Each structure stands twice: as C-alpha cells, then as structure tokens.
Structure 1
Amino acid sequence: MSGKTVAIIGAGPAGLTAAYLLCKEGVPVTVIEADPELVGGIARTARYKGYHFDIGGHRFFSKSKEVEDLWTELLPGDLLERPRSSRIFYRGKFFSYPLRAVEALLKLGIVESALCVLSYLKARLFPVRNPRSVEDWVSNQFGRRLFGIFFRTYTEKVWGMSCKEISADWAAQRIKGLALGSAIANALFPRRKPKRGAAVIKSLIESFRYPRKGPGMMWEACARRVREMGGRVRMGEKVLGCAFDAGRREWTLTHVDRSGVRHQTQAAHVISSAPLRDLAIGLTPSLEENTRAAAARLRYRDFLTVVLILKDRGVFDDNWIYIHDPGVRVGRVQNFKSWSPEMVPDAAMTCYGLEYFCFEGDGMWSMSDADLVELGKRELQQIGLASAADVVDGCVVRQPKAYPVYDDGYARNVETIRREIEARFPTLHLVGRNGMHKYNNQDHAMMTAMLCVKNILAGGPVYDLWRVNEDAEYHEAGDRGAQGQGGTGLRVVPQRVSA
C-alpha cells in the first residue's frame, strides 16, 4: 500500500494525540473506538443527570512543554488553574498530603508520635538484615509503625497483594520516587530545602490545569479537530483482529459494530493503544506460541467508581482523599466539584466519587449498582465526609483494565511480545498505558504517541518509545534514567517475594 495511511486502535489520550498530529501532517487516519459515545478512555468525562465526573482523576500538569503546549492548543479558553489539595484519612483523622510534620505529630498524639520515633530509631539501629519484602524494606527506612500508618493499607488496596509478598527490590528502587515516601521523609524527618531549579516531584505540585467540564472535554475537542481535518473516528466498534499482508505491506483490521456487523479497514501502519494481551493474541500471522503464552499471562487491575450526589455541607474541598483506614474498602474519594465547579450543575449540591480497586468478575465488581451505592453511602458516613441521609442519588462507573498488573513475570512477558512485534511487524506501533502495558500518566501516553508519529513521518524508528520515562521525558541510550531500567523503559514493578 502506498502512502502513510494509519489505523489507530483506541480513542484515548495516546490514540487521539497520534490522530491529531497525523491529520495536521495530511496523513489519512481512521480511529476505531469500542465505546459507543465517549472518547478519552480512562480520561473520559462520564455524565449522569447533568453531573460530570472524572474516572480516576486527571491533573493536567506535565514536565514536557510539548505536552503542555498541545493541551493549550486543543482547549485554549477552557483550562482552569486549580489548586492542588489532597489528604490522607487514617484512624478517624485527616492528614494533609504532603504531610506536615507538626500537624502529623499532633494528630497522631503524643504517645503514638513517641512510638513512631522509637520505632524509627529501632529500625535504624536494628534493621532487618537482607530485607526481602516491601514491609521489611519500608520499615527499615521509616520504622514499622509509620509503615503501618502511611503505607501498608493503601498499597494493598491498590495492588491486591500483601506487602509481605511484594519484593523489597521494588521498594528499594521505587519508594524514593513515590510522593508518599518523599512526603513522609520530609515531614517527619525534615531535610534541607532543595536548591532553586532542583527537580520538582510531579505528584506534589501546588496547582494544575483542568478542563472546565472534566478531562473528556480535552479529548472531545481533539476528536472534533480530527474529524474537521478529514480523519475518521468510528465509535462503538471493537477490533477483533489485525492481519498483515507482507507482500502488499498492508494491514487489514476487522472490527464489529454494536449491531454485530463486521467492517474492515486497510492501512499501511497500525497504532495500538488497546490492551497488549488482546492485540498480541489477535494478530495474523500469529505470533510464536511462547509469545502468545506470554501475552496470555498479562493481567489487569480493574476499579469502579461509586458516584454519590449529595447536599453540599462544605465538609471538604480536596481534589481527593486517600483512605488508609483498613476499616473501609474504599481506596480514594474524589470531590468532583473541587476539580471544577462546572462539573456540578446545582450550587447547593456536590458530587463525590468513591474508588474501589478490584478484579473484573470478583465479588466487588459483580455487586449490583444499588448495593454498591448503599456501600458507598455507609462508608462515606463512616469516614465522616457526609451523612448518608444527605445522599440523594448515585450511580456506578466500572473501568475494566484500568491498570496493568505488575507481577513478577510482567517485564519478561512484555519484552518477549515487544521483541517479536518489532522484528516481524515494524509498522505496528504500541503506545499508551495498555498498549505498552505500562502504568504511567496521561502525559506519558501522549508523549509515546507524539514520538510514534515522528517515527511514521520519518519512515523508521528514530525514537525508541520505550525510553519515555514516567515524566514524559525521552532518554537517549546511556542517559541517566535509562541505565537503571536496563534501557528497556519498563517500569520497576512490585514483584512477589521468591520462595
């Protein structure tokens, strides 16, 4: 096939970024999205009775000027500057996040604070030798009591694994880069202020930009621009498989609409942000048996949001609150009105989103919407953020394949798939969170798409997309940051303790 026609699987941040940039260069593009109505993927804006809500929470802040400039280009007059505000809930009390030393010590109480200090001193004097688990490693750094208060519960809720089972190797390489670890260290064991110009921890920013009507507003604008430039965005169609004709150097994508009618799209290049497992298993000619087996071993963590509409009593104005209390199942509570007042149509009301981490098909996922709304009301009252009687309505949004699961075989499986695809299908490009099976943020997904477009326009792999780090920064081979990843760009991940 002549030219650079491109088919894109998925209308999330990565897929639509690629489509928009290709259309600007005059490249014919077809985007195929399974959702019948909403673009944006997990960064979409869901709606219910005039209320808007953000699935997962998306702050528009990036260290990449290229990403920031694209956001401005797409929504020049609709980005609000919002203050960053979040807290931690533990034992019936709310702690500022990042932690503030005096507040944290006062709220923990004299006895608990003293025990934390003693626990820390004990850990420094008598550390666990050769720590094998996250629990042992973090306890060595901060003491076992602080580990239990500010690390254990939320980590286990998110990953669905005990901290005793997660390898210390992950903690040793990642905890210093996590906002929570930095917050604890700086709050309870203060260090000198960083010099002017020193690196900023992205998750501890003071403010961020945010679309008036939620993150989906950005991607709806992007899809509209794509269509205006002649690109096609096909909604409600699921890709069943991708077949490559080596003789014609042409891809044929088979996709089915909601009526069951099958369609086909031909293209010279395919950009995929679809789950890597599904893509790899659906390729023709088939990947090698061991590669297909590696794909089948990839797993995903899902979550659901219980959205509650209630009378606004002015109880809290945080963007979200991390729930470190083991007495409730909710992991985080969002306040959509704090993201943008325009997401709530009635000034006398507010709207909260309670996030529950689970696996598709488990007991939590399979609960009825009515039961989940009742659970949310009970836990919201138990936490002290609202009275259940103030809740007037609610709904549930389920998000399958929200996070790639980083088990001990993850990196090996992804590398196996990646190498064969690159060797056999150089015009098949993997981008985004699920497309690359990498849990990274919106700006990272966008940067992989930006570099992918540059590669297609250049006619070859000028950039290695796997070298984009979690701050959406590209590292050449040998650059600091690439070395610690072995040059693969794969994120260091939680691994189970080996026997």
Structure 2
Amino acid sequence: MSIAGLPGAHGAAPNHEKTVDVAIIGAGPAGLTAGYLLTKAGLSVAIIEKDAHYVGGISRTVEHEGYRFDIGGHRFFSKSQQVVDLWNEILPDDFIQRPRMSRIYYEGKFYSYPLRAFEALWNLGIVRSTLCMISFAKAKAFPNKQVKSFEDWTVNQFGQKLYSIFFKTYTEKVWGMPCDEMSADWAAQRIKGLSLWGAVVDGLKRSLGLNKAPNDGMQTKTLLETFRYPRLGPGMMWDAARDKIVASGKGEVLIGHALKQLASDGQGGWRMTATGEHGETVVRARHAISSAPMRELAARLHPLPQTSLNAKQLRYRDFLTVALKIRSDDLFPDNWIYIHDSKVKVGRIQNFRSWSPEMVPDESVACVGLEYFCFEGDGLWSMADDDLVELATRELATLGLVSAEQVIGGAVVRQEKAYPVYDEDYAAHVDAMRRELEGAHPTLHMVGRNGMHRYNNQDHAMMTAMLTVENIIAGQRVYDVWCVNEDAEYHEAGDEGEQAALPTARREVSEDQAAALASVREVPERIAAPKQRDAA
C-alpha cells in the first residue's frame, strides 16, 4: 500500500521567475530553519523541496488513514539553549513530555539498552551463559594480537559467543557491511565502559549481599528518563516553520520542485532552476543555501566543479519503514526496540503510540513501524509495497510478537539517503569539494546532514543553518559552520539547554558549544586498504 500524502499548498506557477535574497535547496530541518530565521530578519527567501507532499525531510511525519509515522524516531532534546529556544518559538504549545525507553529483543526476551552485561547473562540462561563465559575466557587467554576490525576488537573484549549475539547481527543490518570490514577504532568508541568480568564480579557480590549498586558492569551516564515530543510527530514542527515562513510575506516554499541546476551568475549571485509538475521555476538570489546531498549538488552546479568526480564517490545508507496496524493492545512500552536476531531482516521496531498517543487514533489498535536498512535499488528497496507488508507481518510472527491474523493493514515509507556512509575515502572527497566551493563561491553555503555529508542529528542540522544565517546577515563567514558536528551521546545524558547560546561574532563556535556539538559521530569506517595502513 503506497502512502498518499497531504496536498501541496505552496507550489509555483508554470515558468515562474522571481528574485529573492536567498535561494534554499531542501525543506528539511536545516533548510526550514534557515528560511525561518532569514525571513524573521527581513530577508526574502525561496525554498524548493522535491517531495510533493511533505516538508521536514527525514524529520517529517507521514500520515496514512489517520495514523502518523515518525521516520526514524526523533527525540527533541538538545544541549544547545539556542536550539531549544527556537523549537519553543516555532511550536510553543504542542510539546508533550514522554517516557524514554529502548531495549534489545533477542529470542523472545528483552534486554536493557545500553546493554547490562549481568542481566544479559542471566536472561540467556545457565547453559548459554556458561558457553559465553568459556568463550570470554578463551578470548582473554588467546586474544587476537592483530586487531584491525570491529569483529577483532569485540571478540577480544567479550568472546565470540556474546559478540555474535549482541553485536554482529544488528550492526551488519544497519551498516550493510561485514563487521570484519569495519574499523576497530569505531568499536572502541562505540562500546564504552562495558566490562563482562566486572559484571560477573558485581553479580556475585550482589548475590552475597555485598554490593547493592546496579550490577550492569558499566560506568554509565545517567540517561534521560523523559523527552519532549510534538504531540502529532516531528513533522508538526516543520509544518509550523513552513507556515510561518509563508505568513511572513517574505518567503515561498515550493514543494514538488526538484533542483535542475544551480548556476553562478558571474557576479557572486545565483540562478537556481527547479522543475515541478507544471514546468520550470527560476529563482535569482544573492546567496544560495544547499541541504541537498553533496553528490547531487555537485552534479547540478554550473560551471561543473573540478571535485564533482569526488562527490560522485560519496555513498549513502537508505532505509524503509513498514507501518503495520495490529488489532491488539500495545505490544511493548518502548519507543523502539532493537532486533538482534539473524532469523529476520528487520533491524528496529517503533511503537508509535509510545512516542505520542495522538499518533494512533484507535485505542484498540497498536501501530508499529518495522525499519529495514538497505541500499536504494537493492532487493528490499525494490520490493512491492504489498510484499513488504507481507514480509513485515511474517517477521513479527517469527519473532513471536504477534500472530499474522492480528495485522489489519499496513503502509510503506521509503527514505533515501538516510545516513551518509563514512567509507575510507569520504573525508577526502568532502574536504576537496568543500575547499573548492567555499574558495570559488563565498555566497554558496552547505548545511545539514546530507548537505555536509555528516551524520548529524536534527538539532545539529539546525545549528549549521543558524550559523549560516548569521554569516549571511554579517556579510562574511564569521562562523566556521564545519565546527558543528555531533556528540554521539549528547542526546542520551545531561541537561537540556545546558550550553549557553552562541556569541554574535566569533570565527568558530564557542568553547561551551563545541563541548556539546563538536565531537566525532559514532559511525563505522571501513578498514583502510593495506597501502593506506602502511602509510599511516
């Protein structure tokens, strides 16, 4: 069953041409944040969005027969007070507070996430736990001394048995490459503080009454217990931003318009051509902001950049959601669960009512989204919608979560270019394109996850746009937007808005903001080729 979206109310007339201060490519969080702040400052903008039904990009909310689907799950939490304030300004009355819960599901049992080693051993049972401990002892007695891959590092830390249960299957589902090809550096960063031996010792002490501390074998940060969320999903935020842009009289949002060409006018400005259902739209502007994938921008720039061949090498991981309506009470209270089971292809399952009760209109029906990680054009991506609904139904039954007879309907949502891939060459490709474009075109600005080929969360995409707007208003690059990246744990711990807002004139983000936003995202890289390792 295909999704039929909302009608586009902000399209353009055939062969429409206009002049604005800033042309913006993409109506995701970054593009709409830029558009909102620019119009608020009195500048005129035109935003093009190739989706004919929705704004918000991966943060949109899809609606089908009254049921709403979040594409990937978006907790509204940021350590940046500036971002929090903007959320509250755009959507002042529609946030609700929701409990945070995520777990791992393996062979009919739930496990805490992050993983608690002692609990995991207990749930696995005496026989399998014994095998895990034997495997662990073997790994400690005879470790692999040539540690190169995620698999090498994880087996050395936990043994082959626990690695195969809790690390291998899900990791390979998400990233689409074998664990023995992923960098060991990523494993060391990704799995922090978990000590299997510490968990066993703590568990024994606890059983003897000698230790009453949580026996999880980890020195974990305090995780968020609740988070804020728009009552009708994250798309509610971006629909409101779009409406405010249009209501300002300074902005236009052209949905169903794909970028055909972005051409320099030879005088420091831009001529953007977009194609829609009724023909072409031309926008002339002093500045251009792009949140389009770098690969697509490079292919449509005129003159063609020398680094366009580099950009063509950039890769992306895609995914699709199969949303099922189930005649049943909610299957689990979690916002989502991670599926560590090799018998099924699904990687994660969302429970939309746990995000917001208003997402699911019928109290007698549970609505869940099964997420499949894939590459655009592969077998999963190319399956017919009905076949995907049948697959998801069958896999829920295989997992023992529901019987096939309880499923009363389903819908499929495909999300292309969901995750920029960090392969061994991506950084060099991105850097080459960035240097050429920033050097030759100071009025062209790249923002957001795909616009910068960075695995950023929603608030970091917004921050790149916020700094870009400051640069445009100032008439120079007072901020280095590329300093904004992502702290992969920021959204799990700490206090919301604990970092102060940015100062108004600095060439780099402030020290406080850097602490919240500028560490490396936990994304696996492929092991370098032999000649690269030798050179290093």
TM over 0.5: yes
Spell out the pairing of 1:419-458 with structure 2 (5 A cutoff): 419-458=435-474
- What code does the residue aligned with 2:99 have? P
Which of 329, 333, 343 in structure 1 is aligned with 2:349?
333
Q: Structure 2 matches for 1:191-206, cutoff 5 A?
A: 204-206=223-225
Within a 5 Å distance, the mapping from 1:265-276 to structure 2 comes to 265-276=283-294
Partners of 2:150 and 2:303 lie apart in 1 by 42
CA distance in 2, matches of 1:183, 1:220: 45
Query: What's the % identity of the aligned pairs?
Result: 56
Q: Secondary structure at the match of 1:268?
A: strand
Superposed CA offset, 1:193-241 (max 9, x none): 99xxxx9969x42211111111100100111111111211111100111
Q: Structure 2 matches for 1:402-421, cutoff 5 A?
A: 402-421=418-437
TM (norm. structure 2) is 0.84
- Over the residues paired in the alignment, what is the CA RMSD in angstroms? 2.9
2:387 matched to 1:368? no
Find the aligned partners of 1:74 and 1:185 in 2 and give their Cα distance: 49
Q: Which moved more, 1:106-115 or 1:456-465?
A: 106-115
User: How far does the alpha carbon of each residue in 1:116-148 deviate from its partner, in whole angstroms, 9 at most, with x for none?
Assistant: 334334434432113011100122233332222
1:280-315, Cα deviation, whole Å (9 max, x unpaired): 121111111xx1111111111111111101112333
Report the Cα distance in structure 2 between the residues aligned to 1:299 and 1:235, rounded to whole angstroms: 25
* TM-aligned CA deviation for residue 32 of structure 1: 0.8
Aligned equivalent of 2:305: 287
Q: Tell me what 2:105 maps to.
A: 89
User: Which structure 2 residues correspond to residues 92-491 of structure 1 after superposition, within 5 A?
Assistant: 92-172=108-188, 174-176=189-191, 204-230=223-249, 231-246=251-266, 248-259=267-278, 261-288=279-306, 291-471=307-487, 476=508
Q: Please state how far the C-alpha of 1:96 moved relative to its aligned partner.
A: 2.2
Give 1:49 deviation, angstroms.
0.5
More off after superposition, 435-444 vs 310-319: 310-319
The residue identity in structure 2 corresponding to 1:440 is: N
Q: Which residue identity is paired with 1:280?
A: A
Are the counterparts in 1 of residues 118 and 196 from structure 2 also a CA contact under 8 Å?
no
Unmatched segments (≥5 aa) in structure 1 = none
Q: 1:398 to 1:258 in 2, by over 3 A?
A: same
- Asked whether the equivalents of residues 467 and 488 of structure 1 are also in contact (C-alpha less than 8 Å), the reply is no
* Partner SS for 1:263: strand
CA contact (8 A) 1:97 1:183 kept: no
Whole-Å separation in 2 of the counterparts to 1:300 and 1:59: 23
- Give the secondary structure class of the aligned counterpart of 1:164: helix
Q: For the Cα contact (< 8 Å) 2:258–2:276, is it kept in 1?
A: yes
Q: Secondary structure at the match of 2:314?
A: coil
Amino acid at match of 1:276: M
Moved more, 4-13 or 467-476: 467-476
Instruction: Return the offset for 1:95.
Output: 1.1
Shift of 1:5: 0.9
CA distance in 2, matches of 1:463, 1:185: 47
| Matched position secondary structure for 2:423 | coil
AA aligned to 1:254 is T
**Contact 2:478/2:508, CA 8 A, preserved across alignment:** no
Equivalent position SS for 1:415: helix
> Matches of 2:385 and 2:301 in 1, distance apart?
36
In the alignment, the residues of structure 2 paired with residue 224 and residue 137 of structure 1 have an alpha-carbon distance, to the nearest angstrom, of 50
Which whole-Å CA distance do the structure 1 matches of 2:245 and 2:201 have between them?
50
Measured after TM superposition, the shift of residue 410 of structure 1 is 0.9
Q: How many residues align?
A: 482
1:488, CA displacement in angstroms? 11
Residue identity matched to 1:337: R
Instruction: Note if contact 2:486-2:521 (Cα within 8 Å) is conserved in structure 1.
Output: no
- Stretch moving more, 133-142 or 350-359: 133-142
Structure 2 residue matching 1:224: 3-state secondary structure: helix
User: Normalization by structure 1: what TM-score?
Assistant: 0.90
Relative to structure 1, is the Cα distance of residues 448 and 352 closer, same or farther in structure 2, using a 3 angstrom cutoff? Answer: same
Output the CA distance in 1 between the equivalents of 2:365 and 2:509. 52
In structure 2, do the counterparts of structure 1 residues 219 and 477 end up closer, same or farther at CA, with 3 Å as the change threshold?
A: closer
Is the Cα–Cα contact under 8 Å of residues 98 and 183 in structure 1 kept in the other structure? no
Which one of the candidate residues 27, 30, 37 is aligned to 1:11?
Answer: 27
Deviations 1:392-420 (A, max 9, x none): 11111111111112211111111111111
**Deviation digits for residues 371-403 of structure 1 (CA, Å, limit 9, x no counterpart):** 110000000111122111111111111111111
Query: Contact 2:322/2:371 (CA < 8 Å) preserved in 1?
Result: yes
Structure 1 counterpart of 2:322, which letter? V
Q: Check conservation: 1:138, 1:171, Cα contact below 8 A.
A: yes
Contact 1:137 1:171 in 2 (8 A): yes
SS in 2 for 1:69: helix
Give 2:336's aligned amino acid: W
Instruction: Describe the superposition over 1:34-87 as per-residue Cα deviations: whole angstroms up to 9, x where unpaired.
Output: 111211001000011011110111111111111111111111111111011111
Q: Which moved more, 1:222-231 or 1:123-132?
A: 123-132
Shift in CA distance, 480/175, structure 1 to aligned 2, threshold 3 Å: farther
After the TM superposition, which residues 43-82 of structure 1 pair with which residues of structure 2 at under 5 Å, given as runs? 43-82=59-98
Aligned-partner Cα distance in 1 for 2:390–2:372 = 14
